[in-house]
Amino acid sequence: MAKKATGKSSGTKSKKSASRTGTKVARISSGSGGSSKANGFDASEAFVKLLQSPLMAELVAVAATAALAALAEQGFTSSGATKRKRAGTAVKAAGKAAAAAVGRRLGTELDEIRAAAKSKGGAKG
């Protein structure tokens, strides 16, 4: 399946090299044209570093806080509905609240990055 995604199929490749091409599908689509490890970039390491970053920890905390607040609000305000319907509504509201909170936080972070980039750009030119 990965062999089809690369668009390269030759009958002279061994099974070992064919299995390696499946791992290069994402690298080819990135537009680098070559092996990304040769360029010094490893996507798996970058992903692990992203997960370990303070921003990710903060986003998880923001999402959890918003979800907990939405669950508490639904628990107090929806007393007329059945338990099953109230639980479903509460979970939906918690998911929406968490997504909105993460979106707001990421927007704030991007605005700060843009402002920092403009100030550096103005200092250079």
Write the pLDDT tens digit of every residue in 65-74.
Answer: 999 999 888 7
pLDDT at residue 88 in the model: 85
Q: Where are the domains of the chain?
A: 53-124
Q: Is residue 37 very low, low, confident or very high in pLDDT (cuts 50, 70, 90)? A: low
- For the chain, the helix, strand and coil percentages under 3-state DSSP, each to the nearest 5: 75, 0, 25
Average pLDDT of the chain is 74
Q: Which residue has the tokens 């009958």?
A: 11
Per the model's pLDDT, the better-predicted residue between 99 and 15 turns out to be 99
Q: Is residue 6 very low, low, confident or very high in pLDDT (cuts 50, 70, 90)? A: very low
Does pLDDT of 61 surpass 50? yes
Q: Is residue 38 very low, low, confident or very high in pLDDT (cuts 50, 70, 90)? A: low
- The two tokens of residue 109 are 């972070």
Task: Write the single-letter amino acid at 38.
Answer: A
Give the SS3 label for residue 1: coil
What's the length of the chain?
125
